[in-house]
Chain A
Amino acid sequence: MTSDKAAPLLELRAVSKQFGEQPGRIERVAESLGWHTPARPVQALDAVNLAIAAGEVVGLVGESGCGKSTLGRIAVGLAAASAGERRWRGIAIDRLPPAERRHHQLGIQMIFQDPYASLNPRMRVRELIAEAPRVHGLVGRGAEADFVAARLQQVGLDPALAERFPHQFSGGQRARIGIARALAVNPAFLVCDEAVAALDVSIQAQVLNLFSHLREQLGLTYLFISHDLGVVRHLSDRVVIMYLGRVVESAPVDELFAHPNHPYTQALLAEAPTLKVERKRFLAIRGELPSPLDPPRGCHFHPRCPHAIARCRVEMPLLREIAPHHQSACHLNAG
């Protein structure tokens, strides 16, 4: 393999994503006659850089609509970026011939949010788990039953359940089946998109513990997407904060929670509910998330930022290193 040892396991370079197609011929004619207002493209991601080292767990946090799910889908290869590049072990994986790409792609799997929609309702658990490894020749016909049993045990399920159908399981069990299915092709990297958001809180903790356990056992790398700071803090080495299609801050987890730099991060942390009994005023972030159809100029956060200065309204702040491994995109750091 031509992989580069020093390269990050997965790297997204200046990835952008626009939704909304170019107008077709009929739309253009209609527009010229004034019958049709052109649909403006939505800029879901704006030149996002993200590098994830092998063995690292990166938490990706942001409000709904900030583009974190889109970033996850691009990272895993379910969606194509409008611009930018995805590199897997230093290789531009999307430019490989299909067969080779498929081979590498197996190393990147996704854990989905909805434990109901993510399992094919017409397949038994055995087939859900064994189909892909059988097709790819990772497991022989005779070894299939043992293979499925081992995978089920790995995620904490009774191997006797292999002959059941998804509808016979609870949400937490389904989440485990989804994890077992992803692990069946021996991935190195898992993208978990709100993987525990649909579960009860007690079950969430169990599944999060399973994720940490699997990481130690299999040396997995995670991109953990969530809107829940508590979940991310529990699991991550590093946290990346997104706002309206841009990364605003990235730091090791303890550093971020101890010294949040970006005003948006500070607001997010201030709002996170805690169990400490104290009188607390909730200082909600003012206003709504602006529409990505018409993002504010300059820093996207300036209309809601308590510290905004004139410069924030015109110039987009770039991510800059403000402490070792701690990057933030805020003009206030410029002094």
Chain B
Amino acid sequence: MSAPADDRLPLGVGPFARLVAAFADSRLALAGLALLLTIALAAAFAPWLAPQNPYDLMQLDILDSRLAPGSPSGDGRLTYHLGTDAQGRDMLSAILYGLRISVVVGVSATVLALLLGMALGLVAGYFGGRFDTLLMRIVDIQLAFPSILTAMILLALFGQGIDKIVIALVASQWAYYARTTRSTAMVEGRKEYIEAARLLGLSTARIVFRHLLPNCLPPLIVVAALQVAAAIALEATLSFLGLGLPVTEPSLGLLIANGFQYLYSGRYWISVFPGVALLLTILAINLVADQLRDVLNPRLQKQ
């Protein structure tokens, strides 16, 4: 597929530029990337895009509650394109704000878990020894528990809030990164270029961060991309169960939960539209992550 691109590329093209070229080979992945960017921008600019601030109770009109998609508001100032929920909240606005929370929680939890797992995995993989054995047993124990269970236990202890749910997500996901980093660091750390760096008298910190880490990143990027989707789904699940975020700042999961009770009475929009938003977000991330995995696969990369 993408590997023989080398000849066409100009001189001095780095591994990163090759990667970008290979990524663009799949239209589906580019569509996923476009969708992902749209979602990210919509989430980032929610306050300017949304017709209403769904968190400002002063703007909500309880008389407008549970209106079907396309209904005008009671005061005639705006149209509820996606309907309203039980509090008279415009669903479009609620979804945009909810997306914002979901994405922020998913991305920040992933980044923190990645940094933590990567640091521990690098030390374990490069130096080995007792720390390695101990860490891997902790990882085994951690991975033996379903992540939702870990997160639920922690949230039951901490209570609600964005910071708390991020901590719970980090606690249930760091182990994936630690294990992936460790196995890659073990393979890369035994290659001759690392030995050459040792003979050249470079410091351990320089070898680990400048030589080892950049070569361990490809599989981590793939895991992280997939785990963002998992983190967003897990956060939605927890919020759906009422464990995640407070009712006043609904994320997608909480919006779905709020509409759940009206599904059988025909008011589908309260649950279905946030569900579709969640689905599209996770789909877009997975499309991008799948292509990243293909591009970064060492067996396809060389030649």
The residues of A with any CB-CB pair to B shorter than 8 Å are: 76-78, 102-103, 105-106, 108-110, 112-114, 117-124, 131-132, 135-136, 163-165, 167-168, 178, 181-182, 184-185
Contact = CB atoms under 8 A, between A and B. Distances in A.
B202 A135 contact: yes
Interface stretch (B9-17, B32-40, B82-90, B278-286): B9-17
Nearest to B193: A120
Contacts of A114: 192
Given A121-B15, A164-B12, A185 B196 contact: no
B12 A181 contact: no
A interface, over-half SS:
loop
B149 interface: no
B58 interface: no
A110 B202 contact: no
Nearest to B206: A135
Given A124-B12, A164-B12, A165-B14, A109 B193 contact: no
B79 interface: no
B137 interface: no
Contacts, number: 79
Contacts of A181: 196, 200
A184 B196 CA distance: 12
Given A108-B199, A163-B11, 19 more contacts: A76-B199, A78-B199, A102-B201, A112-B192, A112-B195, A117-B191, A117-B193, A118-B191, A118-B193, A118-B196, A119-B193, A121-B193, A121-B215, A122-B15, A122-B215, A124-B12, A165-B13, A168-B12, A185-B201
Nearest to B198: A78
11 contacts: A78-B198, A109-B199, A109-B200, A114-B192, A119-B193, A121-B15, A121-B193, A122-B214, A123-B211, A164-B11, A181-B200
A250 B197 CA distance: 32
Interface in B140-189: none
Contact of B200 (A103, A112, A163, A185): A185
A60 B216 CA distance: 35
A76 to B, nearest CB: 6
Nearest to B194: A120
A165 B201 contact: no
Contacts of A112: 192, 195-196
A103 B195 CA distance: 17
Contacts of A164: 11-12
Contact of A132 (B14, B15, B200): B200
Contacts of A132: 197, 200-202
A105 B195 CA distance: 13
Nearest to A164: B12
The 4 closest A-B CB pairs, nearest first, are A132-B200, A118-B192, A112-B192, A163-B12
Nearest to A163: B12
A163 B10 CA distance: 12
Interface string B185-229: 000000111011111111100100011001100000000000000
A258 to B, nearest CB: 36
A111 B56 CA distance: 69
B208 to A, nearest CB: 13
Contact of B199 (A105, A121, A123, A165): A105
Contact of A136 (B6, B14, B191, B201): B201
Nearest to B303: A167
